[in-house]
Chain A
Amino acid sequence: MRDSRPVLLVEDDTIDAMTVRRAFRDLKVTNPLVHTVNGEDALTHLREEASEAPCLILLDLNMPKMNGIEFLGVVKTDPALKKIPVVVLTTSSEERDVVESFRLSVAGYIIKPVDYRNFVEAMRTINLYWTLSEIPVEEPEVADAFPTPAAGGR
């Protein structure tokens, strides 16, 4: 990715989450991967003071409690969160989900490839694009400070 901030994965399926993690490793993507299991869990994480804001959100759609579309509805109307690019990563190719996601300003809608090799290819493309593209860094007035104080820094 463009910078070293974490990537937030919102995914209820443990196997799929492991696959993303494995792809990150195989592609040598060094961004920490933070895994939350549904929209509610992800929102709690995003709103926690101590959490470092992610540079990108990878979002599954079909999840219990708060699904991906509901999550988008909240995130994209929250001034503090709406600028974070969200890429949908799902098994649903239903036109209704695609249209609804883009109306809610997603920056990509990718169907999870079943085969691992294709999955890695997809993740490679996502990583390339979000390395080419700038990613907003939300920050109060302090010019050019680092997103978070370095661990152990004074």
Chain B
Amino acid sequence: MRSRPLLLVEDKPQDALTIKRALAELGMAERTIHAPTAGQALEYLRCGAHEKPALILLEFDIGGMSGLEFLRAVKSDPALRAIPVVVLASSQDRRDILQSFDLHAAGYIVKPFDDTAALEALKIIQEYWSLSYLPACHA
């Protein structure tokens, strides 16, 4: 994910701020695209003019189109399906975890949301997804 965009789908301003701060610290600020709703995120992904992101960070409890609906939409779209989606959630609800992995999430992380813990978590996410190869996703 070295030089490719990262799509953050997050409707809570405070959480978005915390995550963006951590991403900035990790040198990923200018590559981060923030969509405040799942609908806008889908629109962004489906627009041919945009480079497809290397990774999607998805807030599970998002208003409007839900996190699960977004996952389902992405994973049933042949052009988007290969993009890994990591769920960020505020609960450890077993059913939410099962449903997310059932819809092919590539991780489910309970938000640790003070700055230090967020930085720690995002550092691990960055390290793992930099180690992992990612599909080139030619639109």
Chain A positions near chain B (C-beta within 8 angstroms):
76, 82-85, 93, 95, 98-99, 102-103, 105-111, 122, 125-126, 128-129, 132-138
Q: Is the Cβ of A109 less than 8 Å from the Cβ of B134?
A: yes
A-side contacts of B94, CB under 8 Å: 136-137
Majority SS at the chain B contact face: mixed
Which listed residue, A82, A98, A134, touches B133 by the CB 8 Å rule?
A: A98
Chain-A contact segment, one of B13-21, B41-49, B61-69, B124-132:
B124-132
A-side contacts of B83, CB under 8 Å: 102
Q: Is the Cβ of A95 less than 8 Å from the Cβ of B135?
A: yes
Chain B positions near chain A (C-beta within 8 angstroms):
75, 81-84, 86, 92, 94, 97-98, 100-102, 104-110, 121, 124-125, 127-129, 131-136
Task: Give min CB distance, B90 to chain A, whole Å.
Answer: 12
Q: Is the Cβ of B132 less than 8 Å from the Cβ of A108?
A: yes
Known: A133-B107, A136-B100, A136-B101. 6 other contacts (CB 8 A): A99-B135, A99-B136, A103-B81, A109-B132, A109-B134, A110-B133
A-side contacts of B101, CB under 8 Å: 82-85, 136
Task: Give min CB distance, A140 to chain B, whole Å.
Answer: 12
Q: Is the Cβ of B107 less than 8 Å from the Cβ of A83?
A: no
Q: Is the Cβ of B110 less than 8 Å from the Cβ of A134?
A: yes
Nearest CB in chain B to that of A121: its residue: B131
A-side contacts of B125, CB under 8 Å: 129, 132
Q: Is the Cβ of A125 less than 8 Å from the Cβ of B131?
A: yes
Q: Is the Cβ of B107 less than 8 Å from the Cβ of A122?
A: no
Which of A84, A93, A129 counts the most B-chain CB atoms under 10 A from its CB?
Answer: A129
B-side contacts of A132, CB under 8 Å: 107, 109, 121, 124-125
Docked complex Cα distance between A135 and B109 (Å): 9
